[in-house]
Amino acid sequence: MSCDRILVTAKQLESVVSGLAEEIAAAYRNLDNIVALVMLDGARYFAKDLLANLDFPVEVVFIKASSYGSRTSSCGRVRIGASADLTNQIRGKHVLVIDDIYDTGLTLATLLNRLRDYQPQSIRTCVLLEKAIEHTQKIPIDFRGLIIEDAFVIGYGLDFDGRYRDLPFIASFSPKHACSAKNAHGA
């Protein structure tokens, strides 16, 4: 790969995701009314693989949250796009929030605050990655894949300006290295 450093390989991701699925299965297997709340767009790839590893039914709800735009550091504002149906989808249910990365924590904090208004039976959080930083907002993470260094990362759903989501691995990325998708794929 010519412009970024791979932090988590595709093979590592596979084993991290299946490990997380085992933990989640142990926690939820005997419960009914489970809703996976998947944060778009970044957690879409991760959630698809994670949920495919579970052997019991889970309702899936997608929720749009954005704080980054086309930059590589949080803008400090979070927009949550809640659907009109969210009350019915969440009230009385066991909600598992699935996000790609716990960075500053602003996005998850905003979402969790909002979710409590919908009176779920329980809320737990699952993130693929957590950055090893002092988080602006401390969030209880119930299921965590990997702790990574403080770098902007792309791949496996994570993007820069809408690009690089489809990389099968996680790589660090610096905009000054902004490269063609061809290079990022290691071509």
Q: To which residue do tokens 């957690």 refer?
A: 43
103, 142, 159, 161: the catalytic one is: 103
∠ at Cα 186 (185, 187), nearest 5°?
Answer: 95
106 touches 74 (CB < 8 A): yes
Which residue number, 22 or 149, has a Cβ lying nearer to ligand XMP? 149
* Nearest distance from C-beta of residue 27 to ligand XMP, angstroms: 22
Which residue number, 107 or 125, has a Cβ lying nearer to ligand XMP? 107
Which residue number, 39 or 95, has a Cβ lying nearer to ligand XMP? 39
* Nearest distance from C-beta of residue 89 to ligand XMP, angstroms: 20
Cα four-point dihedral sign 80, 86, 91, 96: negative
What is the CB neighbour count within 10 angstroms for residue 70?
A: 10
* Nearest distance from C-beta of residue 109 to ligand XMP, angstroms: 8
* Nearest distance from C-beta of residue 173 to ligand XMP, angstroms: 7
∠ at Cα 143 (39, 94), nearest 5°?
Answer: 65
Q: Which residues bind ligand XMP (CB under 6 A)?
A: 39, 42, 67-68, 74, 99-107, 152-154, 158-159
- Beta strands in the chain, from DSSP E residues, in sequence order: 5-8, 34-40, 59-66, 79-81, 94-102, 122-131, 143-148, 153-154, 170-172
Which residue number, 104 or 125, has a Cβ lying nearer to ligand XMP? 104
Peptide bond into 103 cis (omega under 30): no
∠ at Cα 105 (173, 90), nearest 5°?
Answer: 120
Q: Is 103 considered catalytic here?
A: yes
Catalytic positions: 103
